[in-house]
Amino acid sequence: MDDRRKTYRVWNAQHGRQQAVTPSGILPEDDLVFFLLDVVPQLDLSAFHQHYVHEMRGQPPFDVTMMVTLLTYAYCVGVCSSRKIAAACERNLAFRAIVADAPPDFRTISDFRKIHLAAFRPLFIEVLRMAGEMGLVKLGNLSTDGTKLKANASRHKAMSYGYMTKSIARLEAEIEELLKQAEQMDAEQDAMLGSRRGDELPVELKRREDRLVRIREAKARLESEAAVKADEEQRRRDDEQAKREAEGRHRRGKEPAPVDPIPEDKAQTNFTDPAAKIMKQSNKGFDYSYNAQAVVDGEEQIIVAAEVTAAANDKRQGVPLGQAALGNLDAAGIERPKSSDGTLVPIPNTADSGYFSAEAVEELTAMGLDPHIATDRQKHNEAPVPVGEGDLPAGASAKEKMRHKLASATGKLLYAARKHIVEPVFGQIKSARGIRKFLLRGLEKVAAEWQLICLTHNLLKIWRCRARVAPS
């Protein structure tokens, strides 16, 4: 019988647990963590330092540059939870390279992120400036798109307007009944109260009153939102009527029903994050989400603008995103293209049909962009709408002009490019880095978190570009 067996490499468990390990000795020289340790101290972090200028109480806080480096590295690798970041600071070699032998706890990390939310916008500009100085932003095609990211809100912590109305009536009746019972028991328990005043609310009564207050607040929010929408709809109808009267036309069909400022019974709001809205997820039904928007440059997929809205529809987002992109470019010192005579050349701006409207095209053009926006949604394997050749007629509509523009050779190339400019960016964030949900609540905080997510995307692009061009 052959008793030979495979020989294994020598392993000493005690030696391994006692061996001294250093990040520089184990991690590769071009690792992301070393890149950030070199880059973040060079950024202007004055917005973060400003918080501590007049704060003289308590123990010295953790170094601001270290905390910013820690957060940026954590988001770069898709570790966003403060508890997971704190655990990684104790167990992960790359995180230890940042915090050394003084790792912050999860509460410190969470508080730092909340305190300095407003500082991430100027930090986004700083990173964009760095990308511009490296020549990673060419402004040949700014592509606009949005993606739905789940909110930090449970679908089970929501209620419809119709159910709110029923719940308020039920809770008011229950509270009234509990108060009657308390009055009846008051005399019987008077001798047993001792030093207590006797007017404390019973637990069941307190719970119902707290819930009643929250439901009333949520109901008022829905009513306020419905009133705003009703005012907008009424103004739209008034403008259309004024336009018809000026042109001498009459309304076709029957008169529409009056605008109703009362919310529909199925209108919902969430108790944990009231700003979040129910939105359709990609092939996954509906959930409370935010609509994260981005404008991406076509050269190296650098994000030049990052905003968040609670509106599921993209129709009104094109103009604010265009303004944000141009404002960020100016703030980052990235020069816009100019012709030989020194005049500004319009920057191509591509977007899908969700952003199209005649007003958006007009405003984007006025601010110095060259919009290339699809006018209709085209299904897969569906033939495009035929566009007539030659010059457009004098009275062509905005939609006809845009169709004609996209049918040109330049228009086709620009619009086709958006598929490999902006759409992969969301895949890199959601699939590669695993960031599919916001941790913070409220539109303002979520917008700041999206800025952090997008600036770390840009840092990753800069790091990979440096590694690509570095001499071997």
Is residue 90 located within the same domain as residue 160?
no
Look at phi and psi of residue 335 and say left if phi exceeds 0, alpha if psi is from -120 to 50, else beta.
beta
Asked if 405 contacts 411 with a C-beta cutoff of 8 angstroms, the reply is: yes
Is residue 265 located within the same domain as residue 279?
no
Confidence of residue 362 (pLDDT cuts 50, 70, 90): very high
Residue 464 lies in a domain: no
CA-nearest of 163, 112, 464, 137 to 325 is 137
Neighbours of 15 (CB within 10 A): 9
What's the pLDDT at 215?
72
Residue 29 lies in a domain: yes
Q: Is the dihedral of CA 219, 224, 227, 229 positive or negative?
A: negative
Confidence of residue 197 (pLDDT cuts 50, 70, 90): low
User: Taking 90 as the threshold, does the pLDDT of residue 26 lie above it?
Assistant: no
3-state secondary structure of 348: strand
Confidence of residue 378 (pLDDT cuts 50, 70, 90): low
| Alpha carbon distance 137, 298 (integer Å) | 8
What are the beta bridge partners of residue 142?
A: 297, 349
Residues of the chain with pLDDT > 70, as a percent, come to 87
Residues 190-194: what's their mean pLDDT? 53
CA-nearest of 221, 205, 140, 135 to 173 is 205
User: Taking 70 as the threshold, does the pLDDT of residue 30 lie above it?
Assistant: yes
Lowest mean pLDDT among 6-15, 22-31, 352-361: 6-15
Residues with Cβ within 8 Å of 286's Cβ and at least 6 positions away in sequence, in order, are 278, 279, 280
User: Taking 90 as the threshold, does the pLDDT of residue 157 lie above it?
Assistant: no
Is residue 45 located within the same domain as residue 140?
no
Asked if 328 contacts 125 with a C-beta cutoff of 8 angstroms, the reply is: yes
User: Taking 80 as the threshold, does the pLDDT of residue 135 lie above it?
Assistant: yes
Lowest mean pLDDT among 12-16, 25-29, 189-193: 189-193
φ and ψ of 289, to 5 deg: -150, 175
Please state, in angstroms and as integers, the Cα–Cα distance from residue 345 to each residue in 210, 326, 332, 359, following that order.
59, 13, 19, 21
Residue 465 lies in a domain: no
| Alpha carbon distance 442, 354 (integer Å) | 25
Place of tokens 């790359």: 94
φ and ψ of 402, to 5 deg: -70, -40
Residues 51-62: what's their mean pLDDT? 79
Lowest mean pLDDT among 123-127, 181-185, 362-366: 181-185
User: Taking 70 as the threshold, does the pLDDT of residue 384 lie above it?
Assistant: no
Residues 1-13: what's their mean pLDDT? 78
**What is the tally of helices (H) and strands (E) in the chain?**
17, 8
Residues 376-404: what's their mean pLDDT? 69
Place of tokens 């440096």: 466
Is residue 136 located within the same domain as residue 104?
no
Higher pLDDT, 250 or 442: 442
Which two three-digit tokens encode residue 99? 């915090």
**pLDDT, the chain, mean:** 84
Asked if 271 contacts 284 with a C-beta cutoff of 8 angstroms, the reply is: no
Instruction: Tell me the whole-structure pTM to 2 decimals.
Output: 0.81
Is residue 368 located within the same domain as residue 424?
yes
User: Taking 90 as the threshold, does the pLDDT of residue 304 lie above it?
Assistant: yes
Which two three-digit tokens encode residue 311? 């509106």
Residue 5 lies in a domain: no
Domain that holds residue 372: 125-153+274-445
Asked if 44 contacts 122 with a C-beta cutoff of 8 angstroms, the reply is: yes
Please write the tens of the pLDDT for every residue from 93-112. Answer: 999 999 998 899 999 999 99
| Alpha carbon distance 118, 263 (integer Å) | 34
What's the pLDDT at 468?
76
Residue 8 lies in a domain: no
User: Taking 80 as the threshold, does the pLDDT of residue 344 lie above it?
Assistant: yes
User: Taking 90 as the threshold, does the pLDDT of residue 4 lie above it?
Assistant: no
Please write the tens of the pLDDT for every residue from 224-271. Answer: 777 777 787 788 778 877 887 787 787 777 777 787 777 777 777 777
φ and ψ of 119, to 5 deg: -80, -10
Place of tokens 């950030």: 36
Give the chain's domain count. 3
Please state, in angstroms and as integers, the Cα–Cα distance from residue 257 to each residue in 227, 234, 244, 249, following that order.
16, 11, 18, 20
| Alpha carbon distance 189, 181 (integer Å) | 12
Residues 165-188: what's their mean pLDDT? 69
Is residue 318 located within the same domain as residue 423?
yes
Is residue 278 located within the same domain as residue 359?
yes
Give the max Cα distance, the chain: 107
Place of tokens 């570009």: 465
Lowest mean pLDDT among 246-250, 275-279, 460-464: 246-250
Residues 367-381: what's their mean pLDDT? 81
Lowest mean pLDDT among 85-89, 252-256, 368-372: 252-256
Which two three-digit tokens encode residue 408? 């040109």
What's the pLDDT at 268?
73
Asked if 292 contacts 273 with a C-beta cutoff of 8 angstroms, the reply is: no
Residue 130 lies in a domain: yes
CA 15 to chain centre: 47
* Helix 120-133 and helix 443-469, axial crossing angle in degrees, nearest 10: 20
User: Taking 60 as the threshold, does the pLDDT of residue 464 lie above it?
Assistant: yes
Confidence of residue 11 (pLDDT cuts 50, 70, 90): confident
| Alpha carbon distance 445, 201 (integer Å) | 36
Residue 454 lies in a domain: no
Residues 368-394: what's their mean pLDDT? 70
Is residue 96 located within the same domain as residue 23?
yes
| Alpha carbon distance 361, 418 (integer Å) | 17
Domain boundary pick from 57, 85, 115: 115
Residue 4 lies in a domain: no
What's the pLDDT at 334?
93
Amino acid at 188: E
Is residue 188 located within the same domain as residue 301?
no
Is residue 336 located within the same domain as residue 411?
yes
Residues with Cβ within 8 Å of 344's Cβ and at least 6 positions away in sequence, in order, are 336, 337, 338, 368
Is residue 357 located within the same domain as residue 432?
yes
What's the pLDDT at 5?
81
3-state secondary structure of 357: coil
Is residue 79 located within the same domain as residue 40?
yes
Place of tokens 């405003």: 363
Place of tokens 């990235």: 334
Q: Which of 11-15, 63-67, 201-205 has the highest mean pLDDT?
A: 63-67
